Structure 1
Amino acid sequence: MSAAQRHAVRQLLRIAPVVDELGERFTAAGQELALVGGSVRDALLDRLGQDLDFTTSARPEQTKRLLSGWAESVWDVGEAYGTIGASKAGFQIEVTTYRSDVYDRASRKPQVAYGETISDDLVRRDFTINAMALRLPSREFVDPHGGLPDLGRKVIRTPGTPETSFSDDPLRMMRAARFAAQLGFQVAPEVIDAMRRMADRLDIISAERIRDELTKLLLSDDPRAGLTLLVDTGLADRMLPELPALRLEIDEHHRHKDVYEHSLTVLEQAIELEDRLPDGGPDLTIRLAALLHDIGKPKTRKFEPGGGVSFHHHDVVGAKMARKRLTKLRFPSATVDAVSKLTELHLRFHGYGTGQWTDSAVRRYIRDAGDLLDHLHVLTRSDCTTRNPRKAKALQRSYDSLEERIEQLAEQEELQKIRPDLDGNQIMAILGLTPGPVVGRAYKHMLDIRMDRGPLSEEEATAELLKWWAEQPEAAG
């Protein structure tokens, strides 16, 4: 028995009570049942979690009846696609009827067709490593397409021709890149060739499905491998064109960093620093921000006299571009806002210089970052990819100094909760105003005062408000 098979046996013993009971239940009803796909693959890789996937000869309504009374809960959200879900003993279970789908080449969704055998089901799966099954309760291993050898070689191949598989579901091209990132596997040359030739087929896939696949890739252990494959095959041009656009030409007269490689390195360095974040990692917001923080550079690049290159305002331009792209990919608005803000703020630290920022400047840095301050710390530290050790250490010391000052100020003042020394009600009472735009302007002025000078007494704050009010045209009226 190979090491992989021994690992699988240990995993299967852990889930045996559930899978054996379920297998016997379906067999008694005259139906076939098999553990399938990612569950078998992960068992062989000794990484099986709590999600178990099964395939069956039973139709969805029959599956629902067989699960009812055995499972702790049953749901039919995926019934239209032949899938019934359930939970049992801490496991999340999905049982799907054998599929033999028919795809309309211009449609984003398959026309669901049920198969009659497990062979019908396995041949339609995306890759050979996901086209293995374990019949239950007999535990007969089924591997008609050589998934086990491919798993041993760490190779991603398709059960049939790549062209057929990708025509059926073009998202599988992105999935190949995701598995390369998640598993550390190599994609077979013929699969890569098909990805290059068929990249434009990705255009028929919904933004939501692309977003979900990109998210899984970014949250993997090695997103660089998957992203590189997306760029090299032209798939990124179809769904994240800002990434390949970072590959700016570099010549001997206009030397500057390779922005594309720099961005991938920043992503890797941000991943290494994720333990600094409140929830640890993996963290989608910081990974997206690290990848996209410089996407404004191609649009702002300017060749300066003397051979230099500048990218003025690429932070502001990049923030707008990030917002537009992530919105188009249907990312949640909170994620869009966070990544856009981090992109806009990622250069702010470089004004810190030799640590001569005033307390007011530090307060504004904290105020502008808000709840994303820890993310901004990670992004800024990750954005140092210089090969000059002395420069790298100087930047690190400078940022250490800024963080120390932030902590010191935070102890003195509740910086995360900075508010003016007078609230809206106090402003209206002092100036005799009713709610309206003038109160908003007064509030903003008092907030600026608070940022510049720190906390004031009520008497001092009132004096500042009255001084401001005396200069306003409304006061004269």
Structure 2
Amino acid sequence: MSTSSSSPGSDLLTLQRRALQVLADLAPAALELGEVFAAAGHELALVGGPVRDAFLGRVSADLDFATSASPDQTEQLLARWGDAHWDIGKAFGTIGARRHARPAGPGAEPRPDVVVEVTTYRTDAYEAGSRKPDVVFGDTLEGDLSRRDFTVNAMAVRLPSLTFVDPFDGLADLAGRRLRTPVTAEQSFDDDPLRMMRAARFAAQLGFDLTPDVRAAVEAMAARIEIVSAERVRDELVKLMLATDPRPGLEVLVQTGLAEHVLPELPALRLEIDEHHRHKDVYQHSLTVLAQAIDLETGTHEQPTGPVPGPDLVLRLAALLHDIGKPPTRRFEPGGGVSFHHHEVVGAKMAARRLKALRFDKETVQAVARLTELHLRFHGYGDGAWTDSAVRRYVTDAGPHLERLHRLTRSDCTTRNRRKADRLSFAYDDLEHRIAELREKESLAAIRPDLDGQQIMEILGLSPGPLVGQAYKHLLELRMELGPRTPEEAEADLRAWWAEQQG
């Protein structure tokens, strides 16, 4: 691989060696694509994340290319090269294609399909007040790279020659683990304010630091993120939250003021700690709960397995947001105490509103709100044994999120008092044991009344209507309180309830 710029230092040499190995293993079909474009008189270069990842020793599943060809020309070339192609991004200059893996030789590892996206050289900019960028096609690779978000993503490899192009010293920034913009940070963020969210996301995903000028620009321009659609902001937040360690990215959001416009409930957790330290730092507590919840996910990023395979977005959002109801419910009590009465209920409503505003899907909104509402339910269990009825209600209220609730509740213990932490852990061990015991005796996963609606109508001689629903609800309450009932007992319970209604 030849290079159009070089930088001294052993770190750079290490990165270059890694990249050579990754690029040497680049799918032959991708290299052949470079030959196809060159034969048609067009430039083609691997750009952005795949190049950055090559220097980090990672292989990207999807390959992004930039080209001098127009979208129509690109579509024609990809139609010949691939087994399938799509033009859903054509308005932005992007054409996608897939080429099925060709049979490998004897004893060779089978290669995966090759998926590519090829985008015409371009520049993006927002009109004043617009939520979508205008796209203007360019004519040079260097010009296209200049519009990229950060220098570590503004590197390219020309194909088929494998010439490395790095006009903004992105390789040096990669070695220094820093995020810097190809043009001035102010111009870059003015062109596309979403890049401020990407700065936070890359801080989480890559563990890189923002350069002082980038940080200052985010602080000065944070409010401009409001012109970006909620869906695009959400997508960046999701990628941040699914990183191996989201904390650095969340800290960037809060420290720069960007969170005030994206997730204001998070910086609001930085409650002023009074001189007597009557409550813990809720913001730092929430970040710790998030980290502990991630540690309790099952499996790994590469091999997610078990009851809560990581990365689990619902668990992570619930861990981060579980205490957002504390700021509006904080009260200083006589005698020096601090209370947050019903903060779990208030927080559940706040979490639902924020996630809806960010255009999260209904299932995610409901799940995070439910976990937030239930995260305190366990407290008090260790003070006295719950009845079987209480255990059944706990399981039923958690529904399909019971395993997440287990992990959220355990993660919510951040005390430095070892004896208190052990007591809470032992108590939750006991609760899980109780749940397992009841599972063996009863169908806790789907608690239902011992009589269904049809049976209720037959016994009472009713037609479908509200009374049947009331009877069903009464029998469900008895099932919770008393456990499974025989058909005879259930019928007796139903008739006794019906007699009360008639009286």
Does TM-score exceed 0.5, indicating one fold?
Answer: yes
Which one-letter code corresponds to 1:27 in the other structure? A
Q: Structure 1 residues 159-168 or 83-92, which shifts more?
A: 83-92
- What fraction of aligned residue pairs are identical, expressed as a percent? 66
User: Does structure 2 conserve the Cα–Cα contact (< 8 Å) formed by 1:55 and 1:97?
Assistant: yes
Per-residue deviation, residues 404-447 of structure 1 (Å, max 9, x unmatched): 01001001111011100000001111111111111111101000
Pairing of 1:365-376 with structure 2 (within 5 A): 365-376=394-405
Pairing of 1:454-465 with structure 2 (within 5 A): 454-465=483-494
Pairing of 1:225-374 with structure 2 (within 5 A): 225-253=248-276, 255-275=278-298, 278-374=307-403
Secondary structure of residue in 2 paired with 1:21: helix
1:222 to partner: Cα distance? 1.4
**Cα distance in 2 for residues equivalent to 1:95 and 1:31:** 12
Per-residue deviation, residues 358-398 of structure 1 (Å, max 9, x unmatched): 01110000000010000000000000000001100000000
Secondary structure of residue in 2 paired with 1:100: strand
1:172 aligns with 2:201: no
**Which of 238, 241, 245 is the aligned partner of 1:218?**
241
1:16 to partner: Cα distance? 4.2
Which one-letter code corresponds to 1:203 in the other structure? E
Pairing of 1:80-95 with structure 2 (within 5 A): 80-88=91-99, 89=101, 90-95=113-118
Secondary structure of residue in 2 paired with 1:69: helix
Which one-letter code corresponds to 2:349 in the other structure? K
Runs of 4+ aligned structure 1 residues displaced above 6 Å come to: none
Q: Flag structure 1 segments of 5+ consecutive residues without an equivalent.
A: none
1:278 to partner: Cα distance? 1.8
1:110 aligns with 2:121: no
1:305 to partner: Cα distance? 0.8
What is the aligned partner in structure 2 of residue 40 from structure 1?
Answer: 51
User: Does structure 2 conserve the Cα–Cα contact (< 8 Å) formed by 1:254 and 1:307?
Assistant: no
Pairing of 1:151-230 with structure 2 (within 5 A): 151-230=174-253
**Cα distance in 1 for residues equivalent to 2:282 and 2:323:** 7
Q: Structure 1 residues 256-265 or 42-51, which shifts more?
A: 42-51
User: Does structure 2 conserve the Cα–Cα contact (< 8 Å) formed by 1:271 and 1:281?
Assistant: yes
**Cα distance in 2 for residues equivalent to 1:403 and 1:372:** 14
User: Does structure 2 conserve the Cα–Cα contact (< 8 Å) formed by 1:34 and 1:55?
Assistant: yes
Which one-letter code corresponds to 1:68 in the other structure? A
What is the aligned partner in structure 2 of residue 440 from structure 1?
Answer: 469
Which one-letter code corresponds to 2:327 in the other structure? P
1:70 to partner: Cα distance? 1.6
Aligned pair count?
474
1:254 to partner: Cα distance? 5.2
**Which of 78, 81, 89 is the aligned partner of 1:70?**
81
Q: Flag structure 2 segments of 5+ consecutive residues without an equivalent.
A: 1-11, 102-112, 300-305
* CA pair 282-415 structure 1, distance change in 2 beyond 3 A: same
User: Does structure 1 conserve the Cα–Cα contact (< 8 Å) formed by 2:308 and 2:403?
Assistant: no
**Cα distance in 1 for residues equivalent to 2:46 and 2:136:** 20
User: Does structure 1 conserve the Cα–Cα contact (< 8 Å) formed by 2:269 and 2:283?
Assistant: yes
User: Does structure 1 conserve the Cα–Cα contact (< 8 Å) formed by 2:322 and 2:344?
Assistant: yes
What is the aligned partner in structure 1 of residue 169 from structure 2?
Answer: 146
Which one-letter code corresponds to 1:31 in the other structure? H
User: Does structure 2 conserve the Cα–Cα contact (< 8 Å) formed by 1:86 and 1:94?
Assistant: yes
Secondary structure of residue in 2 paired with 1:463: helix
User: Does structure 2 conserve the Cα–Cα contact (< 8 Å) formed by 1:126 and 1:165?
Assistant: yes
1:265 to partner: Cα distance? 0.2
**Which of 408, 412, 425 is the aligned partner of 2:437?**
408
**Which of 2, 15, 18 is the aligned partner of 1:4?**
15
User: Does structure 2 conserve the Cα–Cα contact (< 8 Å) formed by 1:355 and 1:401?
Assistant: no
Q: Structure 1 residues 289-298 or 89-98, which shifts more?
A: 89-98
User: Does structure 1 conserve the Cα–Cα contact (< 8 Å) formed by 2:152 and 2:179?
Assistant: yes
Q: Structure 1 residues 358-367 or 4-13, which shifts more?
A: 4-13
Which one-letter code corresponds to 1:18 in the other structure? A
User: Does structure 1 conserve the Cα–Cα contact (< 8 Å) formed by 2:132 and 2:229?
Assistant: no
Q: Structure 1 residues 21-30 or 252-261, which shifts more?
A: 252-261
**Cα distance in 2 for residues equivalent to 1:113 and 1:252:** 57
Which one-letter code corresponds to 1:234 in the other structure? G
User: Does structure 1 conserve the Cα–Cα contact (< 8 Å) formed by 2:177 and 2:208?
Assistant: yes
Which one-letter code corresponds to 1:181 in the other structure? A
**Cα distance in 2 for residues equivalent to 1:49 and 1:469:** 66
1:425 aligns with 2:479: no
What is the aligned partner in structure 2 of residue 28 from structure 1?
Answer: 39
User: Does structure 1 conserve the Cα–Cα contact (< 8 Å) formed by 2:193 and 2:228?
Assistant: yes
**Cα distance in 2 for residues equivalent to 1:279 and 1:396:** 19
